[in-house]
Amino acid sequence: MAEEPILLTDDPAPHVRRLTLNRPAKRNALSNALRGEIFAALEAADRDPEVRVIVLRGAGTCFSSGYDLSSLGELPYYTAGGQGQWARHVVEGCFRVWDLAKPVIAQVHGWCLAGGSELAVACDLVYVAEDAQIGYPAVRTMSPPDNQYHAWIVGMRAAMELMLTGDAFDGLEAVRLGFANRAFKLEELEAQVLAMASRIAKVDPELAQLNKRLVHRQMEAMGMRAGLRAGTDLHALGWHTPASRAYMAELRQGVTQALQSRDAVFNDYRAGDKPEPG
């Protein structure tokens, strides 16, 4: 039997291209192979004159549980090597999405953790299920985030709490904090996202491109692009702390056990009574 593709593509409405992360058994963990297919599909849609809006979602129970720690081999696009290569690679990927001509919408349900949250943030609009769970638990044991979007997106006080705890927040809180545009009941999310995508598709694509760019240009003028790039150096430093080195040794003994150990003292994620993330 042929393997299921790890990324599905369809056109659910006129001028709307939809990409679906299709590793539900792995909770759509972002392997480098999947990341490469996402960027290739996004760029193909951006070149397609029939496409005006792109939707990105996850199959199964969640959007994405984060990076696949067991499957991070060759990087899907070139980033100069040396200290901080991974974080710079992630941030460059975010900019690749920002710099597309066409708007990209993240449709988020279930877990949206670490690298999954970075993927959602790279999109231009984020619509979430009310019971989605968004967080960055890696700050508890590994390092600061690869893409340090938090202060820019949710503000200093909320970002500080999230960075010092690694706690998750739900879809309603995501809207209150400014991480997401709107939250819907899970059963309504898909229809609402397609309705918004279809509404955006009514705008002339050349004008939509300029409208998208103007928002990013204002954020860049305030220093967001430079700030995210600078954050990659802090990420690189994090890997040299004794705590991070000890945790990486634990991960090499077994990813599942290491993640459970990380979250046990907080009684959440894998160790809590919520659905288990990857």
What is the pTM assigned to this prediction? 0.94
Asked if residue 264 has pLDDT above 70, the reply is: yes
Q: Regarding predicted confidence, which is higher, 151 or 3?
A: 151
Domain boundaries, the chain: 7-189+202-271
> Domain 7-189+202-271 - what CATH class?
alpha beta
* One-letter identity of residue 135: G
Virtual torsion, Cα 222, 224, 229, 232, nearest 10 deg: 130
Quickly state the pLDDT bin for 275 (edges 50, 70, 90): very low
Q: Regarding predicted confidence, which is higher, 277 or 271?
A: 271
What one-character-per-residue DSSP string does 182-225 give?
Answer: EEE-HHHHHHHHHHHHHHHTTS-HHHHHHHHHHHHHHHHHTTHH
At 202-250, the pLDDT tens digits run: 999 999 999 999 999 999 999 999 999 999 999 999 999 999 999 989 9
At 99-124, the pLDDT tens digits run: 999 999 999 999 999 999 999 999 99
State residue 276's pLDDT score.
46
